[in-house]
């Protein structure tokens, strides 16, 4: 096969890099799944704690209710964040497993599929970064407007 600069040739060194990258991606994905499990567990524990705090409401009117609401909000937040986080962790896991298989079996179609999963992962991370930066920009804008309004 002649390389006339129209085809991509994956060298053995590049395959080695891909295989090692896939191992680290799998490690990070597994840690991500463990983190997701802990987030759901803590979310459920916050709901359980909210019922205890609500039970305290009988003895102290405002403190128990407020504490219970805070625990409910934390519980919901943890479960929502886990739901959002599951997609990129799954994409990273699929990239790692498909990449390892592609390198071992020397299969271009499997490698293409694995890179598709990596693209999905980075697209999601990029969109989430834009969303978070937008929220930061809005918060800064509100603080500036609030500071100017309070000066008058």
Tens of pLDDT along 76-99?
999 999 999 999 999 999 999 999
- pTM beyond 0.85: the answer is no
Distance (Å, rounded) from C-alpha 42 to C-alpha 76? 10
Q: Name which of 90, 98, 13, 81 is nearest 46 in CA terms.
A: 81
Tens of pLDDT along 45-68?
988 877 766 656 555 555 556 667
Query: Domain limits of the chain?
Result: 12-151
CA triplet 140, 143, 147: central angle to 5 degrees?
140
């Amino acid at each position: 096969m002649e390389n006339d600069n129209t085809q991509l040739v994956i060298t053995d060194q590049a395959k080695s890099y891909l295989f090692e990258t896939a191992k680290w991606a799998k490690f990070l994905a597994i840690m991500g799944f463990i983190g997701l499990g802990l987030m759901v567990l803590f979310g459920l524990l916050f709901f359980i704690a909210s019922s205890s705090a609500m039970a305290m409401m009988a003895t102290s009117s405002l403190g128990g209710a407020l504490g219970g609401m805070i625990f409910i909000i934390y519980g919901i937040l943890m479960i929502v964040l886990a739901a959002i986080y599951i997609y990129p962790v799954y994409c990273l896991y699929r990239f790692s497993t498909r990449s390892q298989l592609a390198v071992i079996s020397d299969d271009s179609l499997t490698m293409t599929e694995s890179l598709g999963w990596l693209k999905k992962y980075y697209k999601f991370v990029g969109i989430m970064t834009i969303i978070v930066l937008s929220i930061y920009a809005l918060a800064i804008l509100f603080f500036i407007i609030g500071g100017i309004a309070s000066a008058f």
